[in-house]
Amino acid sequence: MKDYFGYQGKVVVVTGAASGMGKATAEMLVDLGAKVYALDWAEVQIEGIEEYIHTDLSQKDSIDSAFEKIPQEIDSFFGIAGVSGVKTDFLTTVKIDLISNKYICEKILVDRMKENSSIAFMTSTAGVGWELDGNMKYYLPVVKADSWDGAVQAIESSPLVHLPGNAGYSFSKLAMNYLVAQYQAQFASQKVRVNAVLPGSTDTGLTDDFSLLIGGEDNLLEYTGYAKKLALPQEMAAPIVFLNSQCASYVSGDLMIVDYGSTIEATAKIKENPSTFTFDMIMQQMLQAIKENN
């Protein structure tokens, strides 16, 4: 059969390959003939991968040593790992969900990808609204920082650092969607494509955390709009595998929403979606709470 996707023998890196969408993606890539380097802090147990590399994405040194074990030329990068922020503070959440991806693109992939390579992230519909000024002014200082330490410093010196970990989740997803726009422009001259899948609610290792955050699985189903069903991890793996494949060779800068219509229902005001917010609103709520406690 013709290799339409073009993954045969290609070196691909998948973060978050131990569970959920990352695992489903790595499995699909093995089936498509890719050499899969699987990065995660939990052990990856997938038959046929080239190598599992234990990596903590909240640590720059751990990322550096992981990439030393991967061949110099990387054909596709899948940035899928993430935490919800339920068990991590704001800064740690942002390091895992945003700063690690930024560092990998700007300091590693930029020198290790040749023509026709591709980058794709699993961001989120929680990052819809990334273009609003009330969000941009908070995340731009972080995404414009030119080093790992600079990005960390931008958070540490702002009131954002006091927000709960789960606010770091939406903050990171908004910023990651912006970075797709920035990177597609930066990498275009190298003929490297950059895209993202924005999943709706999906049944994975994070489902319990998201259920807890919004008051139970029934509310989580509300976010799926009229579909009223969570996606399977494989239903997010397939679109991201497509975006990084040769089948999508003229697709770059695409934020592919995969949510069974839930976002477009809200945009068209066919059904209300409770998730539209800006960081201005969150900061005002936080300042109000501090005032009330004093």
Ligand X SMILES: NC(=O)c1ccc[n+]([C@@H]2O[C@H](COP(=O)([O-])OP(=O)(O)OC[C@H]3O[C@@H](n4cnc5c(N)ncnc54)[C@H](O)[C@@H]3O)[C@@H](O)[C@H]2O)c1
Question: For binding to ligand X (CB under 6 A), which residues are involved?
Answer: 16, 18-22, 40-42, 55-58, 80-83, 96, 122, 124, 199, 201-202, 204-207, 210, 233
Shortest approach of ligand X to residue 292 CB, angstroms?
A: 31
Cβ count near 229 (within 10 Å):
10
Taking a C-beta distance cutoff of 8 angstroms, is the pair 239, 251 a contact? no
Q: Which is nearer to ligand X, 57 or 282 (CB)?
A: 57
Q: Which is nearer to ligand X, 6 or 172 (CB)?
A: 172
Q: Which of 71, 77, 76, 12 is nearest to 46 (CA)?
A: 12
Helix (H, G, I), strand (E, B) or coil at 229: coil
Q: Which is nearer to ligand X, 27 or 40 (CB)?
A: 40
Shortest approach of ligand X to residue 25 CB, angstroms?
A: 9
Q: Which is nearer to ligand X, 57 or 105 (CB)?
A: 57
Shortest approach of ligand X to residue 253 CB, angstroms?
A: 19
Amino acid at 38: A
Shortest approach of ligand X to residue 4 CB, angstroms?
A: 26
151: alpha, beta or left? (left if phi > 0; alpha if psi -120 to 50):
alpha
Q: Which of 65, 197, 55, 67 is nearest to 125 (CA)?
A: 197
Q: Which is nearer to ligand X, 32 or 104 (CB)?
A: 104
Shortest approach of ligand X to residue 163 CB, angstroms?
A: 17
**Which whole-number Å values give the CA distances from 39 to 2, 18, 22, 70, 211, in the listed order?**
29, 8, 10, 10, 26
Cα separation, 155 vs 85, whole angstroms: 15
